[in-house]
Structures are given as C-alpha cells and as structure tokens.
Structure 1
Amino acid sequence: MPTTTQVVISGQSKPGVLAQVAAVLGEAGVNIKAFSAPEVTGTGKLRLLVADLDGARAALKAAKIKFKEETALLLSLKNKPGALMDVAELLTQNRINIKCGYCTPSREGKRAIVVLTVSNTNKALALLQDQSLDEF
C-alpha cells in the first residue's frame, strides 16, 4: 500500500484561490490528479495530489504561493458500501485519527481511490498491510 505526498496550501477562504493555484499549476504543465477544498469560514486548507510534485513545487515557489507537504495514505478500496467503514473502524480501534480524507472512483469504477491523512502514518500502514485490501 503506497503513501503519497500532498501539497497543502493554507490561506483565506475567498473567491479565486483555487483558480489561481489551478492556473499556476496548469501553466506549468502540472496535472492535478485530486484535490480537497472543504467549505470553511476564514482560513482553510487546499490539499492537492499532483502528477509532478517537483514541477508543482517549482511553479508554486515561482508564484510565491506558500505551501507545505504532508504524507498521506493512498488506498484502493472496493467501490461498494461499507469498504470505507471497515478501514475507518480498524483505524479507530487502534486509536488512529483520520485528519483528512477524500476519494475518487478509479478509472474502471470497480475500486475507489481514497486519500487519508492520519495521526500516525506508520502505524496505519502496518495495520492496513496486515489486512488484505481485497477485504475492504
């Protein structure tokens, strides 16, 4: 089970923030594979998975857009009711907090690609590797 690096941009929730980031990355030829932009009042966090992390870093730095990076779990779950519940319950039972999560169906639609940031990535990886993701 792989992990991935997310780009995290913190800032004021206001019109144009996502448009600016998308423009900077698009002009640099960096494809956004997934993103999370939850509804917030005040300051929020935009999380992005990109096809070219080095390209994104360079483009955002050149545009003077401050960002951080965080490790996230990248899970491929069965696209069926209860799959996410099983993962969430396993993490809960082991006192691992899910700090952020979002998903998208895979190309063929049989699996769901789930991105999770958790309070203890290494422990979560060990737990989930002990389980077969085919169970989920």
Structure 2
Amino acid sequence: MPTTTQLVISGQSKPGVMAQVASVLASAGVNIKAFSAPEVTGTGKLRLLVADLEGARAALRGAKIRFAEETALVLSLENKPGALNEVADLLTQARINIKCGYCTPSREGKRAIVVLTVSNTEKALSVLRDQSLDEF
C-alpha cells in the first residue's frame, strides 16, 4: 500500500486561486493527478497529487506560492458499496482519525483510488496491511 507526498496550499477562498496554481504547474509541465478543493468560506486548503513532485515544488516556489507537504495513503479499493466503510471501520477501531479524503474511480471503473491523510500514517499502514488490504 503506497503512500505519497501531497502538496497543501492554504489560502483565501476566492476566484482565481485554482487557476493560478494550475497555470503555474502547467507552465512547468507538471501534471496534476488528483486534487481536493472543498467549498469553504474564508481560508481553505487545496490539496494536490502531482506527477512530478520536484518540478511542482520548484514551480510553486518560483511563483512565490507557499505550500506545505503531508504524507497521504493511496488505496485502490473495489469500486463497490462498503469498500470505504471497511477501511474507515478499521481505522476507527485503531483510533486513527481520517483528516482528509477524496477518491476517483480508476479508468476501467472496477477500482476506486482513495487518497487519505490520517492522524497516524505508520499505524494506519500496519492496520490495513494486517487486514489484507494490501493489494494496492
């Protein structure tokens, strides 16, 4: 079960923020593989998974866009009712908080790619591996 580094950009929720970030990354030739931009009033967080982490870091720094990084779990679950429930229940039983999550179906639609940030990544990896949720 892989982990990845997720970029987190905190800023004012206003028109143009996503366009600016997308433009900076596009100009640097960095592909955005996934993102989460929940609706908020005031300050929000844009989370991004990118194909070229070093390129994204350099491009964002060059554009003076401040960002943080966090480790995220990347799970490939069966695209069926209850798959996410199984993971969430295991994490709950282990007293691990899901801080952020988003997902998308895979290209063929049989799997769902789920990205989670949790309160204890190492423990979550151990719990999910122990339950044979390691076909990721």
- TM-score tier by shorter-chain length is over 0.9
Runs of 4+ in 1 over 4 A off after TM superposition: none
CA apart distance, 1:108: 1.3
Once the two structures are superposed, what CA deviation does each residue of 1:52-96 show, in whole Å capped at 9, x if it has no partner? 000000000000000000000000000000000010011011110
Whether the aligned pair in 2 keeps the contact of 1:77 and 1:83 (CA below 8 Å) is yes
Please list every run of 5 or more consecutive structure 1 residues that lacks an aligned counterpart in the other structure. Answer: none
In the alignment, what sits opposite 2:40? 40
CA apart distance, 1:107: 1.4
CA distance in 1, matches of 2:69, 2:98: 17
C-alpha RMSD of the superposition: 1.1
In the alignment, what sits opposite 1:79? 79
TM-score by length of 2: 0.97
CA distance in 2, matches of 1:55, 1:134: 29
CA apart distance, 1:134: 7.3
The equivalences for 1:18-37 within 5 A come to 18-37=18-37
Partner SS, residue 133 of structure 1: coil
CA distance in 2, matches of 1:132, 1:101: 21
1:50 aligns with 2:47: no
Please list every run of 5 or more consecutive structure 2 residues that lacks an aligned counterpart in the other structure. Answer: none
Amino acid of the residue matched to residue 23 of structure 2?
A: A
Amino acid of the residue matched to residue 74 of structure 1?
A: V
Once the two structures are superposed, what CA deviation does each residue of 1:3-44 show, in whole Å capped at 9, x if it has no partner? 000000000000000000000000100000000000001101
Amino acid of the residue matched to residue 60 of structure 1?
A: L
Partner SS, residue 19 of structure 1: helix
In the alignment, what sits opposite 2:2? 2
Sequence identity (%):
85
Amino acid of the residue matched to residue 102 of structure 2?
A: Y
CA distance in 1, matches of 2:101, 2:54: 23
In the alignment, what sits opposite 2:125? 125
